[in-house]
A and B are shown apart, each in its own frame.
Chain A
Amino acid sequence: MKETDIIQVQELKNTTIENLYKAETKKVNLFYKDFQALKNIDFAVKPNTVTALIGPSGCGKSTFLRLFNRMNDLIDGVKISGEVILDGKNIYEKNIIVDELRKSVGMVFQKPNPFPKSIFENVAYGLRVNGENNKNRLEEIVEKSLIQAALWDEVKDKLKKSAYELSGGQQQRLCIARALAIEPSLILMDEPASALDPISTAKIEELIYDLKNKYTIIIVTHNMQQAGRVSDYTAFFYLGELIEFDKTKTMFINPINVKTQNYITGRFG
């Protein structure tokens, strides 16, 4: 192949990648032993968007979220069929190395779960386990991540202090910084603000809005207003099925399915 051909092929690839969805599922079924938690789900998100997953407790939205970094693998007795595609690759194929995959997907959990280490070491953790030990490089990325997570100004003078000295809201932003430090392209958030007070919640929501420029975000939330405020798209899950999936505005103003309508207006859930 000539050099010009290679460049052309490269360009072609780039354009196709741009057209592709960031993350996608095709006919995904998930079983916990005999219980079917996800039923035949087709789903796709575009790059640089925020998608909210909503639905009553036990509807499968958190399970669905955990498909994208294979966290369900940690649970005994889980069986998955169908395809989960990230950047054009099926991440459930045999040759996928799970911890490499998780490096490209950041995750923020319901309860802030910083490690009992210093603030600095918490953010540096993901880099260290992936082999980065250069001090300057670590410092640079830790600072950048903390700035992105809107926490830098509050902690820059006490990076050596324990993460447990921070408030709940600060701890959650630290966990976001920790997830950003590994430079993921997709960020999963599992009810990231449900354990926080209103002011901290507002900060996290602002942060999600800012992060959209660089990342693709999927967020599970119980809070309808929150879904309305932060997301571009909303997916409504009910009893393991994806009932409705649309632009958030469309769905909140004019839901097609009766179940969606009832849930959004607060008639059940």
Chain B
Amino acid sequence: MMPFINKRVKQKAAFSFFSLISVMVVAILFIILGFIIVRGASVINWEFLTAMPDEGMTKGGILPAIVGTLCLVAGSMIFAFPVGVLSAIYLNEYLKENWLKKFMRSMTNNLAGIPSIVFGLFGMALFVNKLKFGDSILAGSLTLGLLALPVIIRTTEEALKSVPDHLRIGSYALGATKLQTIRRVVLPIAAPNITTGLILSISRVSGETAPILFTVAAYFIPKLPHSIFDQAMALPYHLYVLTTSGTNIKESMPMAYGTAFVLIMLVLLANLLANTFRHYFSKKNKMN
């Protein structure tokens, strides 16, 4: 009987240990969220969300930073989403298993490992200086887009891989071409998971500071951008400015927490929205 009990005790102990660890992970997330909410929620009001910064960024609002970040997220996705999805389709559906595919895949993974400040430097050299976009929303969006590409490519590839081959073969057997098969069978099934990739990259892009540092971010512009060639403020960079290099850091600290709060809420909102889409897609797949 002894070894049997022993096994059970071990099982119990292991189980408790694993659950303790996972509870800790969740707890850390909640502590961070709670910290930001407690400190930040008090400064949130209509003025904070809709007004220009005032009195050395210790008063007023953060509207230009909110708008700037929204522009950058949208701009980077307009560029990175189609490019990423199309390259993933090429990689997974068209390219045969050979050295080129392995090479391209490992390069994509390497791209994901490059520190974001290096993307910033590259963006400055290419978009700002060489292509003469200047410090602009366009240059910042493209730089952020490059950063998002590997995430989108990888998640899209995984999504495509999870589509069972027997459905592709069934489609070919009915006289469908490869393109028709991709469009009518593969993509509708992969869409929910591709959307997950989109969510992940939106979350990542909206919080990045380093890539926008040299390409778009402005210390202080009390007006909204008018074109893609304008500089803009952005939430993460604004947060950095408020905590490290404002005119009166002590006074602007509550504004910093408010900014962090807004940034987190934007990311949560994006996730929520994308999740709803995802749900809708997978429902449509099943029912239709």
Contacts and interface: CB of A to CB of B under 8 A. Distances in A.
Q: Is the interface of B mostly helix, strand, loop or mixed?
A: helix
A170 interface: no
A113 interface: yes
B170 A182 contact: no
Contact of B287 (A76, A113, A162): A162
Contacts of B189: 116
A126 interface: yes
Interface stretch (A101-109, A211-219, A241-249): A101-109
Interface in A80-129: 99-100, 102-103, 105-107, 109, 111, 113-118, 121, 125-126, 128-129
Given A106-B173, A126-B174, A126-B175, 7 more contacts: A103-B174, A109-B173, A116-B188, A116-B285, A125-B171, A125-B174, A129-B174
Contact of A164 (B166, B169, B177, B286): B286
Given A71-B173, A99-B172, A129-B175, A115 B167 contact: yes
30 contacts: A71-B172, A71-B173, A74-B169, A76-B96, A99-B175, A99-B176, A99-B177, A102-B172, A102-B173, A102-B174, A103-B174, A106-B174, A111-B166, A113-B166, A113-B167, A115-B171, A116-B167, A118-B287, A118-B288, A121-B288, A125-B171, A126-B174, A126-B176, A129-B174, A129-B177, A130-B175, A175-B170, A178-B170, A179-B173, A179-B174
Interface string B84-114: 0000000000001100000000000000000
B223 interface: no
Nearest to A188: B173
B123 to A, nearest CB: 39
Nearest to B166: A113
A111 B170 CA distance: 11
Interface residues of B, number: 23
B37 interface: no
B176 A129 contact: yes
A117 B175 contact: no
B170 A115 contact: yes
Secondary structure at chain A's binding surface: helix, strand, loop or mixed? mixed
A42 to B, nearest CB: 25
B185 interface: yes
B180 interface: yes
B199 to A, nearest CB: 22
A102 B288 contact: no
Interface string A165-207: 0000000000100110010000000000000000000000000
Interface residues of A, number: 33
B99 to A, nearest CB: 14
B161 interface: no
A117 B176 CA distance: 16
Contacts of A99: 172, 175-177
A69 interface: yes
Nearest to A120: B288
A129 B180 contact: yes
Interface in B124-181: 164, 166-167, 169-177, 180
Contacts of B286: 116, 162, 164
A71 B176 CA distance: 12
A179 B188 CA distance: 22
Contacts of B285: 116
- 9 A-B pairs with the lowest CB-CB distances in the bound complex, closest first: A103-B175, A126-B174, A129-B176, A107-B173, A113-B166, A102-B175, A113-B170, A129-B180, A116-B285
B250 interface: no
Interface string A37-58: 0000000000000000000000
A22 B152 CA distance: 49
